[in-house]
């Protein structure tokens, strides 16, 4: 699984202003949906980068190698498994695509819950660290998150 939480970051040398009003960084984190453990954390990219580009630039794509990874709809054209979309002019999806999307949604909910727990840490709600500090903070939180689940 992969997704990109935006972390509000005060250091404007590593952050950019995305569509929302806060300067932030985009983090690509790969979560194992079965165990809910953080498997890989990519380098942060500026918050105004779309998810497809951030997936490549962060190094997360290289870290997972040839493993099958599912993602949300923002990763079109990356080779990741994303939910099916309706074709132009059609009102509904075929039944088999709808079933695929249902199972995708159930797995994706587990990943989003992991991100909610990781983003609950105060340091990620308004990161004041300079330079590489935001990446170090994300790595630390991922490391602290993993033993908390296995204990």
Q: Please give the average per-residue pLDDT across 24-39, as a whole number.
A: 87
| pLDDT of 18 strictly over 90 | no
Q: Are 10 and 87 in contact (CB under 8 A)?
A: no
Cβ pair 2, 116 in contact under 8 A = no
pLDDT computed for residue 26 by the predictor? 87
Mean pLDDT of 108-128: 85
In angstroms, rounded to a whole number, what is the distance separating the alpha carbons of residues 9 and 129? 8
pLDDT at 151 over 60: no
Task: Kindly report the backbone phi and psi dihedral angles of residue 27, in degrees, each rounded to the nearest multiple of 5, phi listed first.
Answer: -115, 130
- In the predicted structure, residue 1 carries a pLDDT above the cut 60: no
Instruction: Give the model's pLDDT for residue 102.
Output: 93
**pLDDT of residue 36 exceeding 90:** no
pLDDT one-digit tens code per residue, 53-95: 989 999 989 998 888 888 988 888 888 999 999 888 888 999 9
Q: What is the DSSP letter of 10?
A: S
2-3, strands of its sheet edge to edge: 2-3, 29-32, 37-41
């Amino acid at each position: 699984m992969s997704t990109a939480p935006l972390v509000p970051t005060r250091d404007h040398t590593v952050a950019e202003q995305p569509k929302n009003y806060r300067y932030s960084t985009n983090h690509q984190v790969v979560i194992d949906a079965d165990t809910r453990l953080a498997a890989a954390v990519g380098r942060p990219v500026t918050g105004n980068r779309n998810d497809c580009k951030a997936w490549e630039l962060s190094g997360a794509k290289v870290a997972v190698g040839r493993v099958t990874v599912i993602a949300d709809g923002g990763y079109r054209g990356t080779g990741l498994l994303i939910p099916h979309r309706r074709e132009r002019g059609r009102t509904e999806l075929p039944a088999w695509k709808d079933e695929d999307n249902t199972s995708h949604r159930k797995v994706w909910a587990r990943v989003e819950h992991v991100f909610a727990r990781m983003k609950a840490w105060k340091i990620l709600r308004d990161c004041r660290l300079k330079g590489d500090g935001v990446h170090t903070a994300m790595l630390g939180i991922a490391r602290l998150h993993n033993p908390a689940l296995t204990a």
